[in-house]
């Protein structure tokens, strides 16, 4: 399926990637400057800062490569890699993830693009949880897809994100905070999958189902 993508979407994705990388890369630079100024007196704190920031930058680069780049549809990328990069990303936040056992076996040979769409959906789920929360991932009944349950104190879509996910927004109305929802919906459409969701704010939950 052919999908037209407005140039503004590319600009917003680039802005999002750069925004998320600025902090760890900047911290690496600060650590290096500190070591240059103080030498041995900089101590272990500077080394620790550089190491932690380099790790965060590496995790985010791998995440964006799989979410937005061609690597997400590489036949050598399996469920295990998707799960690991997502859980690694969560280590610096207040959201946890729980995966149903044997999902890697159940989805060892999914349709092309399914794991890429799943990772984008997991990122969207993390964005929907504005405080401490949990993301539970399991197979749908019949094994033709995966459900992602977002629970927490205040789960909900960011401004304009739900409409963006549906594809009901114009590119000019998007911003770096809502563009991920938009591109997630477009990937699902492009690869021919179906994405349904139900938000129950009063129960503190949003459930997504990505099926093929």
pLDDT, one tens digit per residue, over 110-159 is: 999 999 999 999 999 999 998 889 999 999 998 899 999 999 988 999 88
- Across 89-110, average pLDDT: 93
Number of other CB atoms surrounding residue 135 within 10 Å: 26
Instruction: Put the strands of the sheet holding 205-211 in their side by side order.
Output: 95-99, 133-139, 145-152, 205-211, 194-200
Q: What is the pTM of this model?
A: 0.92
pLDDT of residue 1: 62
pLDDT at 37 over 90: no
Contact present, 159 and 178 (Cβ < 8 Å)? yes
| Cβ neighbours of residue 41 closer than 8 Å, sequence gap 6 or more | none
Q: In the chain, pLDDT over 90 holds for what percent of residues? A: 75
pLDDT of residue 16: 92
Q: Which of 136, 57, 56, 60 has the alpha carbon at shortest distance from 95?
A: 136
pLDDT at 164 over 90: yes
Pick the more confident residue, 42 or 114: 114
Domains, the chain, in order of start with CATH, read: 7-211 (3.30.565.10)
- Averaged pLDDT score across all residues of the chain: 92
- pLDDT band, very low/low/confident/very high, at 168 (cuts 50, 70, 90): very high
Pick the more confident residue, 122 or 92: 122
C-alpha distances (whole Å) from 34 to each of 52, 122, 198 are 15, 37, 49
pLDDT of residue 34: 78
Alpha helices in the chain (DSSP H): 7-38, 43-68, 79-90, 103-106, 114-128, 161-166, 179-191
- Across 64-79, average pLDDT: 95
pLDDT of residue 30: 84
- Across 19-32, average pLDDT: 90
Q: Are strands 133-139 and 95-99 parallel, antiparallel or unpaired?
A: parallel
- pLDDT band, very low/low/confident/very high, at 2 (cuts 50, 70, 90): low
- pLDDT band, very low/low/confident/very high, at 3 (cuts 50, 70, 90): confident
Cα(32)–Cα(40) distance, rounded to whole angstroms?
A: 12
pLDDT of residue 163: 96
pLDDT at 42 over 80: no
């Amino acid at each position: 399926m052919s999908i037209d993508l407005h140039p503004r979407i590319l600009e917003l994705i680039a802005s999002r990637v750069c925004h998320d990388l600025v902090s760890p890369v900047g911290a690496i630079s600060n650590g290096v400057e500190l070591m240059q100024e103080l030498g041995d007196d900089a101590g272990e704190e500077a080394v620790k800062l550089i190491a932690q920031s380099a790790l965060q930058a590496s995790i985010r680069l791998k995440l964006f490569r799989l979410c937005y780049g061609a690597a997400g549809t590489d036949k050598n990328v399996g469920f295990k890699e998707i799960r690991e990069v997502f859980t690694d990303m969560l280590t610096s936040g207040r959201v946890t993830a729980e995966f149903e056992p044997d999902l890697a076996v159940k989805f060892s040979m999914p349709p092309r693009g399914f794991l890429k769409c799943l990772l984008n959906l997991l990122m969207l789920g993390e964005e929907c949880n504005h405080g401490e929360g949990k993301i539970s991932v399991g197979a749908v009944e019949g094994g033709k897809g995966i459900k992602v349950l977002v629970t927490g104190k205040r789960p909900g879509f960011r401004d304009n994100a739900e409409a963006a996910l549906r594809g009901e927004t114009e590119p000019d109305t998007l911003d770096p905070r809502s563009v991920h929802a938009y591109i997630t919906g477009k990937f699902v459409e492009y690869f021919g999958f179906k994405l349904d969701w139900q938000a129950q704010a009063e129960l503190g939950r949003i459930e997504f189902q990505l099926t093929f």
